[in-house]
């Protein structure tokens, strides 16, 4: 049996565990939040290193990949250094591939209704932290607005092109990645605060809203009738909220397991645990091949 533990900087209220069988191997998957306690998370990685087959790095990433450049977080390097034996995945190796698969599946779903992604209006909450999803939206023909200034900095300036996103990353990320990580991401109890209706114009102007679910939820309007959300980790409680607010379709890039879609960090860690190679020798192609063979498919749920 493979043991996979996702140590998250997020709220313990989102903790979950499940057992699944993949490729004939039982996998015990658990998520444990530290409520924003960064030191506690580093200590947990240190204490559990070698006791689990693989760690999922939740609520954090080793680096942001924008175009062909990588920007490494100074704080998160401490997590990387604490893990010496177990394998580890932060989702970076597979999230772009899963995002494209999710949009491909959504396109097929819409075609049954005589519709298409091409020409729809899209809102990507933050393109810098999920650039590959932003790129996949543009490649799918979605007319996408990127909300990096709004969702990360609170400044009402929409971005219209991927070239502008890459320029923004080149200017700001060398500085931002050196600052405390918790300044830029809602952690712990912040993740449970009621949504604030701050950017209704951009939500209402979009047919498809995509990005990190906590960012989407943070400014979620009371009414999102007829809209589609493409995101990552959602719980039963999150789905209930979206259904009450009229969401038409919820797409998660990872499958729903016992009522919850785990994050890409968990999925990457699970895949790494299944690959019979040392962690440093596992390539993105190894992981993509395993995704196809299992197969791991996105979840598409019609809520209203």
Please write the tens of the pLDDT for every residue from 157-212.
999 999 999 999 999 999 999 988 777 665 555 556 778 888 999 999 999 999 99
For residue 4, what pLDDT is reported? 97
Confidence at residue 10, expressed as pLDDT on a 0 to 100 scale: 82
Q: Which of 1-10, 122-131, 185-194, 220-229 has the lowest mean pLDDT?
A: 185-194
Mean pLDDT within 140-164: 95
Rounded to whole angstroms, the Cα distance separating 281 from 191 reads: 35
Per-residue confidence (pLDDT) for residue 291, from 0 to 100: 95
* Overall average pLDDT of the 267-284 stretch: 96
> Sign of the C-alpha dihedral, residues 226, 148, 139, 299?
negative
Which conformational region is residue 36 in: left (phi greater than 0), alpha (psi within -120 to 50 degrees), or beta?
A: left
Report the alpha-carbon distance of residue 13 to residue 95 in Å, rounded: 24
Judged against a pLDDT cut of 70, whether residue 284 lies above it is answered with yes
Q: Which of 199, 291, 298 is nearest to 250 (CA)?
A: 298
pLDDT for position 186: 58
For residue 276, give both structure tokens: 């019979």
Return all residues near 291 (Cβ < 8 A) that are at least 6 apart. Answer: 94, 97, 98, 101, 271
Q: How confident is the model at residue 59 (pLDDT cuts 50, 70, 90)?
A: confident
- Residue 19 has a CB neighbour count (10 Å cut-off) of 12
What is the DSSP secondary structure assignment for residue 12, as one 8-state letter?
Answer: G
* Predicted pLDDT of residue 112: 95
């Amino acid at each position: 049996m493979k043991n996979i533990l996702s140590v998250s900087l997020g709220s313990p209220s989102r903790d979950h565990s499940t057992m699944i069988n993949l490729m004939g191997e039982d996998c015990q998957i658990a998520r444990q939040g530290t409520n924003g306690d960064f030191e506690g998370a580093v200590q947990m990685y240190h204490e559990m290193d070698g006791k689990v087959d693989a760690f999922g790095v939740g609520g954090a990433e080793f680096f942001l990949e924008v175009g062909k450049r990588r920007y490494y977080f100074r704080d998160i390097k401490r997590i990387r250094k604490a893990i010496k034996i177990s394998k580890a995945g932060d989702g970076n190796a597979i999230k772009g591939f899963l995002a494209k698969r999710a949009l491909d599946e959504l396109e097929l779903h819409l075609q049954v209704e005589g519709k298409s992604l091409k020409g729809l209006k899209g809102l990507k909450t933050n393109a810098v932290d999920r650039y590959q999803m932003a790129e996949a939206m543009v490649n799918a023909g979605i007319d996408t607005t990127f909300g990096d200034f709004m969702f990360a900095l609170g400044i009402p300036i929409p971005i219209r092109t991927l070239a502008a996103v890459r320029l923004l990353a080149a200017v700001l990320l060398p500085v931002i990645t050196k600052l405390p990580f918790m300044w830029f991401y809602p952690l712990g109890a912040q993740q449970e605060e009621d949504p604030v209706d701050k950017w209704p114009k951009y939500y209402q102007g979009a047919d498809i809203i995509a990005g990190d679910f906590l960012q989407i939820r943070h400014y979620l309007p009371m009414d999102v009738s007829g809209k589609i959300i493409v995101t990552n980790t959602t719980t039963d409680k999150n789905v209930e909220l979206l259904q009450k607010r009229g969401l038409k379709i919820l797409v998660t890039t990872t499958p729903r397991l016992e009522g919850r879609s785990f994050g890409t960090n968990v999925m990457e860690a699970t895949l790494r645990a299944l690959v019979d190679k040392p962690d440093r020798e596992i390539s993105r192609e190894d992981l993509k091949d395993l995704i196809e063979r299992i197969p791991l498919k996105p979840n598409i749920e019609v809520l209203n």
